[in-house]
Amino acid sequence: MSVGHVARAFEDANIATVIIAVKSFETRMKMMSLPRVLLTPQLLGRPLGNPFDEQQHTEILNTAIKMLETAEQNGTIQDFH
Amino acid sequence: MEKSNQAESFEEFIKSFFYGRRCDLSFKFLSDLEPDKASIFIQDLFKDIVDSIDDKDLGQVKLRLLQGQMDGYREQKNFDYDSGPFFPLKKPLSSMILSLLTSSGHFLKTDDPKPLGVENMTQQEAENRVFDFLKEEPFLSEIPFEANPGELMVRHGGYDTRAALKDPNVSFPYKRMIQLNTKGVFKELTAKAYSFVGACSQIRLLKKTLPGWVDKFRNLGVDAVVLVPV
């Protein structure tokens, strides 16, 4: 919830945001009407993946950052596979 | 020692994982499940554990746990907004300045935010006092991107920090941000990344804290921020 509020405040101030969240947060992300969200199939507490899995971390982060260019409207939620 | 004659109910058992005597932040979602669903989850998890040993593959255990966490969190109450803001970026990533802000509770060991006025608070104390955290305004820790992982600490009473203790990048991907910047995915990083404890007063965050954070990031000249909740 906290990060959702940060995203809404930043977007209101013309600072774009993208959120990387675990899939378990999908409902709360949708309810908060957030701009760009990448959902990852990871366990709570490790949204970028397992410790030291650099390749996985990088792929997730890169996919999220690309959403800054591709998303066109609020509520853009994408699953990372 | 006198034994209690009162048998613990299954409902009491699953509730005890949510800041009770069996507190386990990876399994606190059990308290959000109906007892029938929780019992099925536990039974299925036991089966998956044995299969995973036979098959030498933990994938099914992870999937079962993931499904349980999803089922539990789906039932939680939350802020509900009909609409939300969207700032469309009008330039390519290659010309953008990015920053990182997470609610993972990372900070520099040399710059402990001393939550609730406590020096050297442990993770266990943070879990024990999570409901005090929920009444407080959050504090934004600043972490230079060049800091080594060994210089960082994580403390957060709302989630299982074990993975983040081993490798901060699981929830605070600051080294991965540097790598993507070096590869030219985006133009520039701010000098520092930022983190706070997301278990905080939402009212104070909205009314008191966020206006200051917005000013701060505006002054940094950032185009976009990667946000990571835990």
Of residues B15 and B1, which shows the higher confidence score? Answer: B15
Residue B60's CB: how many other CB atoms inside 10 A? 16
CA distance B85 to B39: 41
B-chain CB neighbours of A40 within 8 Å are: none
B77 pLDDT band, cuts 50/70/90, is confident
Mean pLDDT computed over B107-115: 97
Cross-strand bridge partners of residue A38: A20, A78
Secondary structure class of A56 (helix, strand, coil): helix
Cross-strand bridge partners of residue B224: A16, B98
The residue type of B226 is V
Q: Count of CB contacts below 8 A, A vs B?
A: 216
> So where are chain B's domains?
10-74, 93-228
What ipTM goes with this model? 0.98
B3 pLDDT band, cuts 50/70/90, is low
Mean pLDDT computed over B82-86: 96
Scanning B123-182 for CB atoms below 8 A from A yields 138, 159-164, 166-167, 169-171, 173, 176-177, 179-180
B110 Cα to chain A: minimum distance (Å): 23
A-chain CB neighbours of B152 within 8 Å are: none
Interface check A43 vs B, CB under 8 A: yes
pLDDT mean across residues, chain B: 95
Boundaries of domain holding A25? 2-79
Of residues B120 and B90, which shows the higher confidence score? Answer: B120
User: Percent of chain B beyond pLDDT 90?
Assistant: 94
B66 Cα to chain A: minimum distance (Å): 6
Contacts of B104 (CB under 8 A, 6+ apart): B154, B156, B164, B168, B171, B172, B195, B198, B228, B230
Of the partner residues A1, A9, A24, the one whose CB lies closest to the CB of residue B78: A1
The model's pLDDT over A17-71, given as tens digits with 9 standing for 90+, comes to 999 999 999 999 999 999 999 999 999 999 999 999 999 999 999 999 999 999 9
Does the pLDDT value for residue B163 go beyond 90? yes
B221 pLDDT band, cuts 50/70/90, is very high
Residue of A nearest to B28 (CA): A44
Does the pLDDT value for residue B76 go beyond 90? no
CA distance A63 to A80: 8
A57 Cα to chain B: minimum distance (Å): 7
Does the pLDDT value for residue B90 go beyond 90? no
B4 pLDDT band, cuts 50/70/90, is low
pLDDT at site B228? 98
Does the pLDDT value for residue B2 go beyond 60? no
CA distance B108 to B165: 13
Tokens (6 digits) for A45: 């507490």
Query: B81 and A14 in contact by Cβ < 8 A?
Result: no
The model's pLDDT over B13-54, given as tens digits with 9 standing for 90+, comes to 999 999 999 999 999 999 999 999 999 999 999 999 999 999
The model's pLDDT over B122-148, given as tens digits with 9 standing for 90+, comes to 999 999 999 999 999 999 999 999 999
Does the pLDDT value for residue B6 go beyond 80? yes
Of the partner residues A4, A46, A58, the one whose CB lies closest to the CB of residue B170: A46
pLDDT at site A41? 97
pLDDT at site B75? 77
Cross-strand bridge partners of residue B195: B102, B141
Structural domains in chain A (count): 1
Secondary structure class of B142 (helix, strand, coil): strand
CA distance A9 to B151: 30
- Residues of B15-49 as b/e, b for ≥16 C-beta within 10 angstroms? bbbbbeeeeebbbbbbbbbeeebbeebbeebeebe
Mean pLDDT computed over B60-65: 96
Instruction: Tell me the DSSP string of B102-160.
Output: ESB-EEEGGG---GGG-TT--HHHHHHTHHHHTTS----EEEETT--GGGEEE--TTS-
Largest Cα–Cα separation, chain A: 35
